[in-house]
């Protein structure tokens, strides 16, 4: 309850910040059609044979992003404020607020500080960048400024200002010679009072604690008296969130925050402050960080593409920041060439996508282009620059093994061989990472158990979390009003609406099978027992409907975006089973009904997919009645690259499914002689 109240206060503070019109110079800039993507100039294919990117190119990528932001700045007096993206992001009325401007300032600073560290005389758009940020820091404390931030009231709760000040403290730690030391004593005093009023205060019990930790730590480092008792309390509570294998729990979710955020904040805090002042805490953060290489790299595809998963997906390649930070640890046995290949590959996944920057030269709120289903109400246009935290990895100096090791594909070269599937299960977090060498893709299954009724934050019950799995090659498609669903079940509820499953309870992972139970939020008489069996070319689902009430249900495969012309469709009958195949010229998806389903069909969708306006998904549909002869839904969800032919054995690799123990145990016999026994508890 205390967590709910705190975040409610956050949202209220966000939306009711004093509204201010944007100052001169913030008129949206309309770019030319076909905005150019980032180009790797003079690639170094000797050091980086896969991406051509070196440390120099990372700096150029930062400059590329910062140039877009500075097109909205005419003088050092102008706030960093951007055009609103239509939709649910704030400011919802289009009237700019001090909180929004603070986001623009602090988040673009993540991109700027590595550049300023290298060149404090940097100029962009005729503006001296260091002068600009120092002036804007001072304006935060001037009551006459439109960007003025009032100190937190004595009874004030955590809010977006705390988030931005936490980020600002990270940047101050990164480049104090450029940002902090040139300020006058009076300017420092004023800024410290404002920032500490938020840092020395309440927070949200999640990765947010680090915002307080960084503010308190920075000003302690500068000799200011701070609340050390609160600092230690937040450090202890942050460490208590560790669940092993590199993963933290973000109260209550698991997502990228659980890895990249915690595993960036801990090492950076240790490097900037902890090793000097609190070496025991720094050692604990470092020990947790050292667990990361065993599984986090496997969450990315062979070419470094990240999975669209969880909230704040607009932060995109911020997810790679732990990889360069491995260069600070220099843990023996680290494959730095693979880590950099992933990190640079993820950057290029977005920087070279034609829809990443909108016509106004700014990153969209979305995954590639703007995608409203993935946007959260706490985001403004500047929020996307949180991705700039990836560039904090440039703290690792030139000559470090992270930058000098020759790029390689790590486990994908020898460890992960074609024709097989590989699972990495994390017992503490219950996360399953699966790698598919046949197409070089990665997949993840993780926590989701949030009702729409209680999801006043409006993201944890959605497609950001409630998919059965998330895949690097197939970004999630949003649900449609007519039952269009991708990688989940939807069930017709008592309001005659299609309702997605979202209340999942993890049961176990054994013998390559991931077990969960699920119940429909609006009717607990509708429940299923789910078993996922990853295969070399897809997934076998062995699901049992244990409902005590009749229901109409649908199950969706992953979806394909339309790319070059209409998506091709094909229906087959293979070994007595219905098969549907779709092909978009890049990938093929096949869905096979082994038992339980009445009908398979490809369904076209519009404005539901993050990559294309038009998309197609394969859906299975059926009717369930308690006491019917069989309540088993056995389904194959398969994939291949386009142009490859399907054999009948690939489409129907299952020879027989035998049932025992009154529907609690099934033996799946495969045509190649293998067998798997599915045992529900």
Name the residue ranges covered by the structural domains of the chain: 55-413, 422-649
Place of tokens 């009908």: 599
Whether 346 shows a pLDDT value over 80: the answer reads yes
CA distance 502 to 520: 7
Which 8-state DSSP code applies to residue 558? E
Q: What is the model's pLDDT at position 36? A: 81
d(CA 91, CA 82): 11
What confidence tier does 456 reach under pLDDT thresholds 50, 70, 90?
confident
Distance of CA 361 to the CA centre of its chain: 22
Q: What digits encode the pLDDT tens for the residues 42-52?
A: 999 999 999 99
Which CATH number is 55-413's, of 2.120.10, 1.50.10, 3.20.90, 1.20.1070?
1.50.10
Residue 629 pLDDT grade (very low, low, confident, very high; cuts 50, 70, 90): confident
Confidence at residue 5, expressed as pLDDT on a 0 to 100 scale? 41
* CB 303 within 8 Å of CB 50: yes
In the chain, the percentage of residues whose pLDDT exceeds 70 is 95
The DSSP secondary-structure symbol of 370 reads B
For residue 144 the two structure tokens come to 């006459």
When mean pLDDT is compared across 1-10, 107-116, 324-333, 602-611, the lowest value belongs to: 1-10
pLDDT > 60? residue 2: no
Stretch (H or E) spanning 14: helix 2-15
**Confidence band for 7, pLDDT divided at 50, 70 and 90:** very low
The label of the residue with tokens 């829809």 reads 355
Cis peptide preceding 40, ω within 30 of 0 = no
Place of tokens 């230690």: 232
CB-facing half-sphere around the CA of 604: CA atoms within 13 A: 8
Calpha distance 476→178 (Å, rounded): 42
Sequence-distant (6+) residues with CB within 8 A of 648 are 574, 575
DSSP states of 242-307 = B-STTPBP-SS--SGGGTTTHHHHHHHHIIIIIHHH-HHHHHHHHHHHTTGGGTGGGGS-TT-PPP
Backbone CA torsion sign across 238, 243, 246, 252: negative
Cβ–Cβ < 8 Å for 60, 111:
no
Q: What is the largest CA-CA distance in the chain?
A: 81
Q: What are phi and psi of 75, to 5 degrees?
A: -140, 170
Q: How confident is residue 95, by pLDDT bands cut at 50, 70 and 90?
A: very high
The two structure tokens encoding residue 436: 């598919």
Average pLDDT, whole number, for the chain? 94
Other CB atoms within 10 Å distance of the CB of residue 625: 12
How long, in residues, is the chain? Answer: 681
Higher pLDDT, 661 or 347: 347
Phi then psi for residue 288, to 5 deg, are -65, -40
Sign of CA dihedral 132, 137, 143, 148: positive
- For the entire predicted model, the pTM comes to 0.95
Token duo for residue 347: 């950057």
pLDDT of residue 627: 87
Count how many Cα atoms sit within 13 Å of the Cα of residue 395 in the half-sphere of its side chain.
27
Look at residue 430 in the predicted model and tell me its pLDDT. 98
pLDDT surpasses 50 at 507: yes
The per-residue pLDDT for 526 is 98
Residue 21: which pLDDT band, with cuts at 50, 70 and 90?
Answer: very low
Query: What would the pLDDT profile of 160-218 be if each residue is shown by its tens digit?
Result: 999 999 999 999 999 999 999 999 999 999 999 999 999 999 999 999 999 999 999 99
Burial code (b: 16+ CB inside 10 Å, e: under 16) for 644-653 equals eebeeebbbb
Both tokens of 322, joined, read 């732990």
Q: Are 407 and 47 contacting, i.e. CB atoms less than 8 angstroms apart?
A: yes
Mean pLDDT in residue range 252-271: 97
What is the pLDDT at residue 33? 36
Average of per-residue pLDDT across 46-59:
98
Instruction: Classify 343 as helix, strand or coil.
Output: helix
Token pair for 532: 């996922």
DSSP letters, 176-207, are HHHHTTTS-HHHHHHHHHHHHHHHSS---SST
| CATH for the 422-649 domain, from 3.40.50.10140, 3.60.150.10, 2.70.98.70, 3.90.1150.10 | 2.70.98.70
The end-to-end CA distance of the chain, in Å, is: 33
Percent of the chain with pLDDT over 90: 91
DSSP notation for 379-396: --GGGGGGGGGGGGGGGS
> How far is it, in rounded angstroms, from Cα 31 to Cα 303?
30
Q: How confident is the model at residue 12 (pLDDT cuts 50, 70, 90)?
A: very low
Which residue in 236, 116, 118, 216 sits closest to 169, CA to CA?
216
Q: What is the mean pLDDT of residues 383-411?
A: 98
Does the pLDDT at position 474 exceed 90?
yes
User: Please, are residues 678 and 670 in contact by the beta-carbon 8 Å criterion?
Assistant: no
pLDDT at 14: 41
3-class SS of residue 666: strand
Question: Given this model, what pLDDT does residue 8 score?
Answer: 45
Specify the pairing of strand 127-128 against strand 123-124: antiparallel
Which token pair is 268?
């950076």
* Tokens standing for residue 139: 């304006």
- 587-595/577-583 β-pairing: antiparallel
Q: Which two tokens stand for residue 642?
A: 């386009």
pLDDT for res 392:
98
């Amino acid at each position: 309850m205390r967590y709910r109240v705190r975040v409610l206060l956050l949202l209220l503070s966000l939306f009711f910040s004093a509204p201010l019109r944007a100052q001169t110079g913030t008129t949206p800039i309309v770019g030319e059609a076909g905005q150019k993507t980032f180009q790797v100039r003079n690639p170094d294919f000797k050091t980086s044979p896969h991406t051509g990117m070196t440390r120099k190119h990372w700096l150029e990528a930062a400059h590329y992003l910062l140039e877009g932001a500075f097109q909205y700045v005419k003088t050092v007096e102008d706030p960093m404020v951007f055009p609103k993206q239509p939709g649910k992001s704030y400011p919802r009325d289009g009237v700019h607020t001090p909180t929004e401007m603070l986001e623009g300032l602090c988040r673009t600073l993540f991109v700027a500080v590595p550049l300023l560290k290298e060149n404090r005389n940097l100029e962009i758009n005729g503006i001296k960048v260091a002068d600009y940020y120092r002036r804007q820091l001072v304006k935060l404390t001037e009551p006459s400024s439109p960007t003025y931030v009032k100190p937190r009231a004595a009874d004030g709760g955590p809010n977006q200002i705390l988030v931005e000040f936490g980020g600002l403290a990270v940047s101050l730690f990164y480049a104090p010679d450029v940002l902090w030391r040139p300020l006058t004593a009076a300017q420092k005093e004023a800024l410290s009072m404002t920032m500490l009023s938020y840092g020395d205060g309440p927070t949200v019990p999640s990765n947010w604690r680090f915002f307080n930790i960084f503010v308190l730590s920075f000003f302690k480092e500068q000799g200011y008296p701070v609340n050390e008792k609160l600092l230690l309390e937040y450090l202890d509570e942050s460490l208590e969130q560790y669940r092993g294998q590199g993963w933290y729990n973000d109260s209550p979710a698991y997502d990228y925050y659980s890895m990249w955020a915690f595993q960036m904040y801990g090492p950076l805090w240790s490097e900037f402050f902890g090793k000097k002042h609190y070496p025991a805490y720094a050692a604990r953060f470092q020990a947790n960080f050292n667990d990361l290489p065993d599984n986090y790299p496997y969450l990315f595809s062979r070419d470094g593409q990240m999975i669209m998963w969880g909230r704040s997906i607009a932060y995109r390649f911020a997810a790679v920041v732990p990889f360069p930070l491995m260069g600070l640890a220099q843990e023996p046995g680290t494959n730095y060439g693979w880590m950099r290949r992933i990190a640079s590959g993820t950057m290029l996944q977005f920087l070279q996508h034609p829809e990443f920057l909108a016509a106004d030269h700014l990153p969209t709120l979305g995954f590639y282009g703007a995608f409203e289903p993935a946007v959260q109400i706490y985001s403004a246009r500047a929020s996307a620059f949180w991705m700039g935290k990836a560039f904090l990895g440039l703290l690792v100096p030139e000559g470090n093994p992270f930058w000098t090791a020759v790029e390689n594909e790590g486990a994908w070269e020898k460890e992960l061989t074609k024709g097989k599937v590989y699972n990495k299960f994390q017992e503490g977090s219950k996360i399953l990472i699966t790698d598919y060498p046949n197409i070089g893709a990665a997949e993840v299954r993780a926590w989701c158990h949030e009702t729409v009724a209680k999801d006043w934050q409006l993201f944890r019950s959605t497609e950001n979390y409630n998919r059965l799995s998330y895949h690097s090659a197939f970004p999630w498609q949003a649900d449609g009003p007519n039952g269009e669903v991708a990688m989940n079940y939807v069930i017709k509820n008592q309001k005659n609406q299609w309702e997605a499953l979202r209340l999942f309870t993890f049961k176990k992972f054994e013998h390559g099978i991931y077990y969960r139970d699920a119940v429909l939020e609006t009717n607990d008489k509708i429940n299923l027992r789910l078993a996922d069996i990853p295969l070399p070319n897809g997934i076998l689902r062995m699901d049992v409907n244990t409902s005590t009430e009749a229901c109409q249900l649908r199950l969706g495969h992953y979806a394909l975006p339309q790319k070059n012309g209409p998506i091709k469709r094909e229906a087959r009958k293979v070994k007595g089973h219905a098969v549907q195949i779709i092909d978009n010229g890049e990938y093929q998806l096949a869905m096979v009904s082994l038992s339980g389903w009445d009908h398979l069909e490809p369904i076209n969708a519009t404005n539901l997919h993050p990559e294309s306006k038009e998309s197609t998904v394969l859906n299975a549909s059926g009717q369930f009645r308690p006491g019917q002869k069989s309540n088993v839904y056995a389904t194959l969800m398969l994939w291949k690259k386009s142009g490859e032919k399907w054999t009948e054995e690939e489409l129907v690799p299952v020879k027989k499914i035998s049932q025992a123990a009154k529907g609690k145990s099934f033996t799946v016999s495969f045509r190649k002689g293998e067998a798997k026994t599915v045992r529900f508890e």
